[in-house]
Chain A
Amino acid sequence: KAGVTQTPRYLIKTRGQQVTLSCSPISGHRSVSWYQQTPGQGLQFLFEYFSETQRNKGNFPGRFSGRQFSNSRSEMNVSTLELGDSALYLCASSYGGEGTGELFFGEGSRLTVL
């Protein structure tokens, strides 16, 4: 079956702009999580959505937000972009039950902020 699909794969923005990234999970998966990957900070958890509700949240400022639709597709938005937001943003999906632990990752959206 199809894997996790993220769009766009690459994008360039300037400081102060906002950006929206999209993630389509594996069919049947109800949980979508977002991670930020940078050379300096590594992989950091942003948030998780399950059944259209945010279930877990990492330690990121309010400029980072997300949502999930009834078909489990998810979007994340970053407003007022800063240079430090340049990163690979990874989306991961899972069935969402407790204790499974296995996430299926997309290839990521690489954001460059100039």
Chain B
Amino acid sequence: GDSVTQMEGPVTLSEEAFLTINCTYTATGYPSLFWYVQYPGEGLQLLLKATKADDKGSNKGFEATYRKETTSFHLEKGSVQVSDSAVYFCALSWASSASKIIFGSGTRLSIRP
């Protein structure tokens, strides 16, 4: 079945460091891909999305590119801030059942001042 695999955490970086969180998926066809973020004490929020191959999603300085050839959707940010500390989830869904999202296991990110 469909699945999402993302790098295990926790990931600890210093402020202004470059961030990459790897995500790969297994699915037949072209699902929509997402990154959701869960800040401490808050609900999940959509960070960015891409709906077709080679699309780039971006938001708040984060970017991810839908790579069909490598079935990947890696999250990157050039310079992280303490406020980026959160748990990040890679996910996929299909247009026909958009609310049925398959999530990765989550990656906890901690940024040191």
Chain A residues packing against B (C-beta within 8 Å)? 3-4, 31, 33, 35, 42-45, 48, 55-56, 58, 90, 92, 94, 96-103, 105-108
**CA A30 to CA B103, docked complex, whole Å:** 22
- Nearest Cβ on chain A to B110's Cβ, whole angstroms: 17
Summed over the interface, the residue pairs from A and B with CB atoms below 8 Å come to a total of 66
Give the contacting residue for A101; candidates B34, B103, B105, B106; CB below 8 A.
Answer: B34
Instruction: Decide yes or no: A56 and B46 within 8 Å by CB, A99-B95, A101-B34, A101-B93 being known contacts.
Output: no
Q: With the chains together, A45 CA to B2 CA distance in Å?
A: 13
Interface-facing stretch out of B13-21, B37-45, B69-77: B37-45
List the interface of chain B (C-beta within 8 A of A): 32, 34, 41-46, 49, 51, 89, 93, 95-106
Verify B99–A107 contact, CB threshold 8 A. Answer: no
In addition to A33-B100, A42-B106, A101-B34, 5 A-B residue pairs with Cβ atoms within 8 Å of each other are A43-B89, A44-B103, A48-B97, A56-B100, A90-B44
